[in-house]
Structure 1
Amino acid sequence: MATRLLAAPPASPSEPDPLDGGPFGTDTEEIVAGWAKRLPYSDVRQLAHAVDTGRAITVEYVATSGNRTLRTLSRLDLDPPYLEAWCHLREAERVFALSRIHSVVPGQESHR
């Protein structure tokens, strides 16, 4: 029984390694995964989808000071290793280091 369990495929696919040409749905996913190493694959997909479709997202962002904030972002422009976006909290264009984004959830619709 233990041998069969060890040989069985995982219940969900393992997270792809951005450096080994893993199973990414889009080039944007691969780019985001390569720079946002703290994000689980589901969040990588959310962020990449938002970049590709112009949808807003909400991210947990950790500043260099260590302060955590929730930011709703729209008008996303991927410029690795950064994400340029309109920050609804600050009501201004801001630049976010992809490596400092710790989680992603869908935000409100963007009027891009």
Structure 2
Amino acid sequence: MAIRLLAAPATTPEPAPLDGEAPFTTDTEEIVAGWAKLLQYSDIRQLAHAIDTGQAITVEYVATSGNRPLRTLSRLDLDPPYLEAWCHLRDAERAFTLSRIHSVMSAASE
């Protein structure tokens, strides 16, 4: 058995999801990062902050049709793998799959 162990190729651990980035500062950031794999670290922080503080946010969302509409969202509720929110475009409560959010920006003043 020792011979097989010595002969086995060396393995390296998988890199952290945001290797080289600052560590998560809140649990919400870590949860969002785990589900929204396409978001950059700055977008993760901005979305998590909006969730934690109740601020409105605008996201680029890839719909199942492939369209990429901008959606302004408020009344955010994190329920992984979804973000439940009031969608200003549809004027209704909607659930957004976190993995389909591709960018985050401050909400435009209304």
TM-score interval (norm. to shorter): 0.7 to 0.9
Alignment of 1:79-98 (within 5 A): 79-98=79-98
In the alignment, which residue of structure 1 is the partner of 2:23?
23
Letter in structure 2 aligned against 1:47: L
Give the drift of 1:65: 1.3
Distance, in Å, in 2 between the alignment partners of 1:75 and 1:27 is 19
Give the drift of 1:64: 1.1
Letter in structure 1 aligned against 2:38: R
In the alignment, structure 2 segments of 5+ residues that lack a partner are 1-15
| 8 Å Cα contact 1:55/1:108 also seen in 2 | no
In the alignment, which residue of structure 2 is the partner of 1:54?
54
SS in structure 1 at match of 2:73: strand
In the alignment, which residue of structure 2 is the partner of 1:75?
75
Q: Root-mean-square deviation (CA), in Å?
A: 1.8
Identity %: 79
The one-character-per-residue Cα deviations of 1:49-68 (angstroms, maximum 9, x if unpaired) are: 00000000000000111111
SS in structure 1 at match of 2:28: helix
Distance, in Å, in 2 between the alignment partners of 1:80 and 1:56 is 19
Q: Which structure would you say has the larger Rg?
A: 2
* TM-score normalised by the chain length of structure 2: 0.79
SS in structure 2 at match of 1:38: coil
In the alignment, which residue of structure 2 is the partner of 1:9?
none
Give the drift of 1:17: 2.0
In the alignment, which residue of structure 2 is the partner of 1:107?
107
Distance, in Å, in 1 between the alignment partners of 2:106 and 2:54 is 11
Give the drift of 1:38: 0.2
| 8 Å Cα contact 1:24/1:30 also seen in 2 | yes
* TM-score normalised by the chain length of structure 1: 0.77
In the alignment, which residue of structure 2 is the partner of 1:13?
none
